[in-house]
Amino acid sequence: MEIQEAEMVVRLEVVRKTYGGVAALDGVSLSVRAGEAVAVMGPSGSGKSTLLNMVAGLDKPSSGKVVVGGDDVSGMGEAALARFRRRRVGMVFQFFNLLDDLPALDNVALAGRLVGVPARKARARAAELLEELGLADRRDAYPAVLSGGERQRVGVARALMNRPALLLADEPTGALDSATGEQVAELLLDLNRKGQTLLLVTHDEALATRCATRVVEFVDGRIVREAELERGGSWGVR
Amino acid sequence: MGRPVSAVWAASRAGVRRRRMQTGSIGLVVALATATLVFGLGLLSASHSMFDDAFAKARGAHAAADFDAARTTEAQVAATAHGSGVTAAAGPFRTVTLARPDGPSEVPMQSEGLTVAGRADPGGPVDRLSLTAGRWVRGPGEIVLRGKPMGPFRLGGKVTSPGRPELTVVGFAVSATGGVDGWVTPAQVAALRPDGFLMEYRFARAGDPAEVRRSLNAAAAGLPVRGYDSYMTAKREFEGRFNQLVPFITVFGILALTVSVFIIGNVVSGAVISGFRHIGVMKALGFTPGQVTSVYVGMVAVPTAAGCAVGLAVGHLLAGRMVANLSENFELPSAGGVSLPLEAAAGGGVLALAALAALVPALRAGRLPAVQAISAGTVSRRGRGRRVQRWLVRTRLPLPVGLGLGLPVARPARAAVTLAGLCLGVTAVTMGLGLHQTVTKIMTADTESRTSVRVGVDPRNPAGSMSADRLAATVRAQPGTAHVTASVQRPMRVPGLATGASAETYSGDYRPFLGDNLVRGRWFTGPGEVVPSEAFMRLQGLHVGDPLSVQVDGTRLTLKIVGAFSHPDTDRFMLDAASLPAAKGRPEPPLLLVIVKDGTDPAAYAAQLNKTGASAGLFAETAAPDLADRALFSGLFLVFSLIICTAAALGVLNSVLLGARERARDLGVLKAVGMPPRRVVLMMVTSMAALGVAGGAIGVPLGVLAHHGVVELTGDLLGSGMAAPWIHVYGWALLLLPACVGLAVAVLGAWPPAVRAAAVRTATVLRSE
């Protein structure tokens, strides 16, 4: 039992989140084990992004408990949440959310600087990551001149900068064409194969079935279906 | 037609609601700027027409004539009210001059005594009096004095005069007309044995002293006039004192106007520019360029109109109070503050300026294609700025500091405007601090202000023939005496001065009494040396070292000019008493000036001297310096500094507000990757703190230069010159304060929107993006 608990990276206990009386999450309980790749699917407004925000510590539940890496996120103050975000999780956004005034290298290094890594070391680690992700020659390019796929890879590199226990991805291919989306999916799959725990929110069934080891489907703030998957298998979203 | 208009109105209202802090800051900035504008205009207007306004409002008399009661009858004098050229008249009021009592008096009286008129009420067709304290006289034994309570000159004081009943001071009043020092009831004046009639006239023609004299002669129609006071004399006296302040007030007024215009332009146009992206979206939805422009002008118009109304009211009150204080300080009836047409013009000007500041960028946005307008709403994407930002982030500076320092670079134009606002604020505070020091030094630099106690001899006292030496010896024997000098005024003829001059001679231990008001050279150290006023030196084109031939009591002698002191009058000379031959006939009684030892109370010292010296016929009075001008100037400085700094802080607040809105997504991202709120605050505050430091670094030297320029110009305009200690007033401490003001204003202005930006929920920001 203790071993199981230690392996548990994310645990949501009867989490409820309401906005102006409307429940975005309605008593959700969910666990993610270390090394798992969980895809959360569902139609718009089903509560997927709300769930991701709870896990990332960007939002707090109205009731229930969110535990990530052993820390109860729901009870943390703003400063503790900031510490939690920079140490425990890495986030990949649909629209990349890079800082436009900084080149790729500094966008990635920024996450390291926030945890106190000296500027030079942070840049060296960022350069390594960019090289791993095939962006060695684009390290000094600003986001505006990068393609969508390149920007998303910079976003992934930034998310991995502090070697987080959990990588969160919110529609990581949503703003990309299919070919570029394919590259990003391959990247996520590769990361998970190397042991990176992944919680993925997506509309894209192909992405989910390709990358995830488990799929959870949300409708109206509730989990309506959950199943382990063989990678590349079929899910059949309703 | 109705629907588009309602759509524009709805969009404007939504904009106002959505941007509460910005709307609030526009309203506040406009209110502050309008108040400053009205205040500045009030001061400028007061500086140029205060006497005339006060004179017109109080229906001051062009001439106050004194008729000898022994040679005229009341009816004859009253008939002059209908004389040729008289447009209004008051009187006749019966008058008497109360002689100065022996020894000390609770009420300071001139050696020629106190002229009192019997007057039933302070109103009337001419010379309406304004009470500054207490009430008007109601019965016997009461007197209202000219001026205002000051030091020992207070309500409840007693006016005593040999052989006359004692009078209690029940009020103080100011008049725009000279001639009388106090007022009692007509019944009371009859009991004081009056010997004159006072008539006050307003004439159809009174443009210059000669016209006043001609008009008075025509009105008097041959009745013998014992003497008269022309309003021109009072006006000149007022101008002589007030003109010293005019350059300072003008500079502050102009600064206030500049800051107002600047901040309104900055904040209002900034609000529109920050809405470019939204403007693009509206155009994409089908709003016409005209409608888009209307929405944004409308959005700015609501807080602008409200701020303008509040500002007008506050400015009206402030200016009224300040002009009233000025008037009171110069013992004039209040001119009533800023005129309503001027206020209306100020309000109209503010609205026009705000409309212009909003229209120019809004029209530009209206003409832009929607896509371009959308992209114009984001921060700059190119140029040198980015290299600087990249460099800053790569330095060893803490990350929020590096990122914060880079923010102004992303918006160089806005940063430049904010910096200019901060510079203006720091310049104003630096100059204001310096001018405050200068005015204080001017007011305390003369001999009078160094004196603690004045000691004199009553000439009517039989014991009053005591020599200056004996008198000085008596005073020196008094415990607590530090320095004593005897000062005597001697008439002197000087080539080039047709009306003669006045020599202020000093004997004894005079060095500690000589002030810091030397413009050039040095003070006299012994006989044969003279220090004229700078105005005389300039008039005659003389230099230090030149000889000066003078004539005193018929004796010609040549003195050596060793220095010049700052004074606008050309007939003032200071020298050692031994430089001049002994006075012929009965000498002028000397006035002894005393500086008491540290720790000695001048009042107690004077009281003791009055007790011990009464038999010798001497009396002592504390020399209470008139610090009203200084207090007034301090108040002015404080008000202006506060207004200018607040306006500059609001400029910063606006800048951060706009920056935070534009960078909402970036801030969200930073928080999402783990930047805690306090570091976000630090980053935003750092961005402005850098400008604050730069504002201090640029504003302080500018302020010092401006101060030197204004002070030297004032000295030149007055012809009095300025003493070096009045110009070089800045020490390190005095420079450090305004340098810190730039930083403080920037941090204070940046703090509220930075905290607000840091507190925005990350998920919301990232979702809305």
How close, in Å, is residue B669 to chain A by CA atoms? Answer: 6
> How is residue A21 annotated by DSSP?
T
Q: Are A85 and B673 in contact (CB < 8 Å)?
A: yes
Tokens 């996120």 sit at which residue?
A: A73
Residues in chain B predicted with pLDDT less than 50, given as ranges, are: 1-3, 103-104, 106, 377-381, 462-464, 769
Instruction: Please state the CATH superfamily assignment of the domain spanning residues A2-228 in this structure.
Output: P-loop containing nucleotide triphosphate hydrolases (3.40.50.300)
Are B77 and B115 within 8 A, CB to CB? no
CB count within 10 Å of CB B161 equals 20
Distances (CA, A) of A198 to A75, A156, A168, A189: 23, 12, 6, 9
- Give the pLDDT of residue B380: 45
Cis amide leading into B333 (omega within 30): no
The vertex-B131 CA angle with B129 and B137, nearest 5°, equals 90
Contacts of B393 in chain A (CB under 8 A): 102, 106, 110, 113, 119
How close, in Å, is residue B398 to chain A by CA atoms? Answer: 8
Tokens read off for B581 = 């031959």
The tens digit of pLDDT for each residue in A10-29 reads 999 999 999 888 899 999 99
> Looking only at Cα atoms, what is the longest distance across chain B?
102
Rounded to whole angstroms, how far apart are CA atoms A196 and A190? 9
Distances (CA, A) of B661 to A82, B506, B664, B761: 21, 71, 5, 13
- Give the pLDDT of residue A1: 39
Q: Where are the beta strands (DSSP E) in B358-432?
A: none
Q: Does an H or E element contain B122, and which?
A: none
Contacts of B406 in chain A (CB under 8 A): 101
Q: Which residue blocks in B178-222 are alpha helix, DSSP H?
A: 186-191, 209-220
Contacts of A142 in chain B (CB under 8 A): 381, 386
- Give the pLDDT of residue B658: 77
Q: Are B390 and A99 in contact (CB < 8 Å)?
A: no
Contacts of A91 in chain B (CB under 8 A): 672-673
Q: Which residue blocks in B663-723 are alpha helix, DSSP H?
A: 664-672, 677-718
Q: Which residues contact B650 (CB under 8 A, 6 or more apart)?
A: B25, B28, B29, B32, B263, B267, B749
Q: Are A111 and B395 in contact (CB < 8 Å)?
A: no
Contacts of B395 in chain A (CB under 8 A): 119
Interchain contact B670–A (C-beta under 8 A): yes
Searching chain B, which residue's CA lies closest to the CA of residue A79?
B676
Q: Are A95 and B769 in contact (CB < 8 Å)?
A: yes
Best residue in B378, B382, B673 for a mutation probing chain A (most A CBs within 10 Å): B673
CB count within 10 Å of CB A120 equals 11
Rounded to whole angstroms, how far apart are CA atoms B407 and B391? 13
Q: Does an H or E element contain B400, and which?
A: helix B399-410
Are B35 and B346 within 8 A, CB to CB? no
Total beta-carbon pairs less than 8 A apart between chain A and chain B: 88
Q: Where are the beta strands (DSSP E) in B434-500?
A: 453-457, 481-492
Tokens read off for B592 = 């002894």
Contacts of A49 in chain B (CB under 8 A): 767
Interchain contact B660–A (C-beta under 8 A): no
Q: Are B386 and A91 in contact (CB < 8 Å)?
A: no
Searching chain B, which residue's CA lies closest to the CA of residue A162?
B673
Interchain contact B394–A (C-beta under 8 A): yes
Tokens read off for B507 = 């004997």
Tokens read off for B57 = 């409002």
Q: Considering only CB atoms, which residues of chain A are within 8 Å of chain B?
A: 49, 53, 56, 58-59, 78-79, 82-87, 91, 93, 95, 97-103, 106, 110-111, 113-115, 118-119, 123, 142, 144, 158
Searching chain A, which residue's CA lies closest to the CA of residue B669?
A97
Arithmetic mean of pLDDT over chain A: 87
Interchain contact B766–A (C-beta under 8 A): yes
Rounded to whole angstroms, how far apart are CA atoms B288 and B220? 77
Q: Which of A91, A101, A119 sits opposite B395 (nearest CB)?
A: A119
CB count within 10 Å of CB B218 equals 15
Q: Are B676 and A106 in contact (CB < 8 Å)?
A: no
Contacts of B677 in chain A (CB under 8 A): 78-79, 82
Q: Dihedral of the CA atoms B723, B724, B730, B731 (nearest 10)?
A: -120
Strand partners, A214: A38, A228
Residue B36: closest CA among B254, B246, B321: B254
Half-sphere exposure for B442 (CA within 13 Å, toward CB): 23
Tokens read off for B150 = 């000051």
Helix (H, G, I), strand (E, B) or coil at B486: strand
- Give the pLDDT of residue B337: 60
The tens digit of pLDDT for each residue in A195-225 reads 999 999 998 888 888 889 999 999 999 999 9
- Give the pLDDT of residue B769: 45
Rounded to whole angstroms, how far apart are CA atoms A36 and B12? 51
Interchain contact B390–A (C-beta under 8 A): yes
The tens digit of pLDDT for each residue in A113-162 reads 888 888 899 999 999 999 988 889 999 998 889 988 899 889 989 998 98
Best residue in A58, A66, A84, A121 for a mutation probing chain B (most B CBs within 10 Å): A58
Q: Which of A97, A102, A114 sits opposite B674 (nearest CB)?
A: A114
Contacts of B676 in chain A (CB under 8 A): 78-79, 82-83
> How is residue B724 annotated by DSSP?
H
Q: In what order do the strands lie in the sheet with B501-508?
A: B547-552, B555-561, B529-532, B572-576, B501-508, B481-492, B591-596, B453-457, B618-622
Tokens read off for A221 = 């703030």
Best residue in B382, B393, B666 for a mutation probing chain A (most A CBs within 10 Å): B393
- Give the pLDDT of residue B332: 67
Q: Which of B390, B665, B675 sits opposite A82 (nearest CB)?
A: B675
